[in-house]
């Protein structure tokens, strides 16, 4: 299926207040003013609201808005989307749940309750996931989907590959763990 996916990480004015810290992670973060401008530009260009994987329609090309890592700015991003009547996909690095700059259990439940899609971004966020052994890749998906399923009380079927390092093995292991929709990126 062809789709357009606009991938974000953290929406924050101080780059080390949400998600992973450091210069490399800062490349993927934008300010709340920039994100607001993005939402305005998007809304001016598209006729329908962005899709959720749970609402796919075979007759149109879906547009998704996604957030990787599970930084605590997810709640601010969700509020900004909701003001437009939109929902997003939030991919959680489960080993970081409850860490200082990441979402906790209650925020994950709240995102889900408010109609956003919550999915896996692996357990430990390996920088080069495809370079891991098959068993290590399988474990990353298994641990993360089990943790999220325990929090939300339902099967996790959506994920995003950390670092965008996709391979057939990464996809196979995701599918073996119940992932039906796997997002990927090509870092530039």
Summarize pLDDT for 2-29 with one digit per residue, the tens.
788 999 999 998 878 898 888 888 888 9
Q: How far apart are CA 138 and CA 165, in angstroms?
A: 15
DSSP for the chain, please give it.
---EEEEE-EE-SSGGGSSS-SHHHHTTEE-HHHHHHHHHHHHHH-SSPPP-GGG--TTS--EEEEE-TTBTTHHHHHHHHHTTT---EEEE-GGGTTSTTB--HHHHHHHHHTT-EEEE--SS--TTGGGS-HHHHHHHHHHHHHHHHHHHTS---EEE-GGG---HHHHHHHHHTT--EEE-----
- The pair of three-digit structure tokens given for residue 83, joined into one six-digit string: 């003001």
Q: How far apart are CA 27 and CA 10, in angstroms?
A: 10
Across 59-63, 123-127, 133-137, 150-154, least confident range: 59-63
pLDDT at 55: 84
**In sequence order, what are the beta bridge partners of 64?**
5
Give per-residue pLDDT as tens, 142-186: 999 999 999 999 999 999 999 888 899 999 999 999 999 999 987
**Contacts of residue 148, Cβ cutoff 8 Å, sequence gap at least 6:** 92, 94, 108, 118, 119, 120, 156
């Amino acid at each position: 299926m062809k789709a357009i996916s606009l991938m974000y990480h953290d929406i924050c004015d101080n780059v080390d207040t949400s998600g992973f810290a450091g210069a490399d992670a800062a490349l993927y973060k934008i300010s709340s003013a920039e994100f607001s401008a993005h939402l305005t530009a998007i809304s001016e260009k598209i006729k329908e609201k962005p899709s959720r994987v749970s609402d796919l329609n075979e007759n149109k090309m879906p547009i998704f808005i996604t957030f990787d890592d599970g930084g605590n700015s997810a709640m601010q991003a969700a509020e900004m989307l909701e003001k437009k009547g939109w929902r997003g996909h939030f991919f959680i690095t489960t080993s970081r749940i409850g860490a200082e700059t990441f979402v906790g259990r209650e925020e994950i439940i709240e995102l889900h309750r408010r109609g956003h899609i919550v999915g896996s971004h692996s357990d430990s966020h390996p920088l080069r996931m495809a370079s891991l052994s098959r068993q290590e890749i399988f474990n990353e998906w298994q641990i993360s989907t089990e943790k999220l399923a325990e929090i939300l009380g339902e099967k996790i079927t959506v994920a995003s590959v950390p670092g965008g390092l996709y391979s057939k093995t990464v996809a196979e292991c995701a599918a073996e763990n119940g992932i039906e929709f796997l997002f990927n990126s090509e870092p530039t």
